[in-house]
Amino acid sequence: MRKTSPLYLLLLAACYVTFASGCNQPAPPAAPAEEHDHDHEGHDHDGHDHDDEDHEGHDHEGHDHDAATIPDNFDESVAALVVMRDTIRDGLIAGNEDVAHGPLHAIADLLEAIEQQAKDSSTLTDEQQAQAAKAVDSLYDQFGEIDARLHDEEAGDFEKNAEAIEEQIQTLIRLTAQPQE
């Protein structure tokens, strides 16, 4: 039986509440939680939960809180992460938080998929899977800090976290380049 991550359920519930209360649109029915074997043991995610506090400080036009489509394999998911990172970075640097905010919420699902795909990979060694998990944990924290600043009505300054984000994404990219056995 697969175990549902408390973080995933929290993010799903918070995004739903945020969407329903902050966007002034009719609330869609709650989506069923996906089950997966992922428990995030060994670290906490207190710094990047998505509750509905202070969510009204920014405009919601131009984005939604629906989850992005998650690729089916590790390599494609890492490529999607790079695109999502670029969208977030470019939006924040340009001062357009609305462009960055939707992907910033969706990135948690993608990171969770990347960690699970690495864990399930037959081409990555145990050590490489651990490297991927460590990189994902750091990325959760880095993107969570950016999102927290947005929700606190501060500028979502990407540059404060840029170096750490880039380092961890490069770790994941190197893991995609591993030779197939």
Long-range contacts of 65-71 (CB under 8 A, 24+ apart): 65/15, 65/16, 65/18, 65/19, 65/23, 65/102, 65/105, 65/106, 66/106, 67/106, 67/109, 68/103, 68/106, 68/109, 68/110, 70/109, 70/110, 70/113, 71/113
What average pLDDT does the segment 32-42 reach?
Answer: 42
Each residue of 54-103: pLDDT tens digit? Answer: 434 444 444 444 455 899 999 999 999 999 999 999 999 898 888 888 99
List the chain domain ranges: 6-176
Separation CA 175–CA 181 (nearest Å): 14
Sign of the alpha-carbon torsion through 34, 5, 12, 94? negative
Each residue of 126-143: pLDDT tens digit? Answer: 999 999 999 999 999 999
What pTM value is reported for the model? 0.63
* pLDDT score, position 157: 78
Q: How far is CA 9 from CA 30, 52, 88, 102, 156, in A?
A: 11, 15, 23, 18, 25
* pLDDT score, position 97: 86
Q: Which amino acid is at 140?
A: Y
Separation CA 116–CA 132 (nearest Å): 10
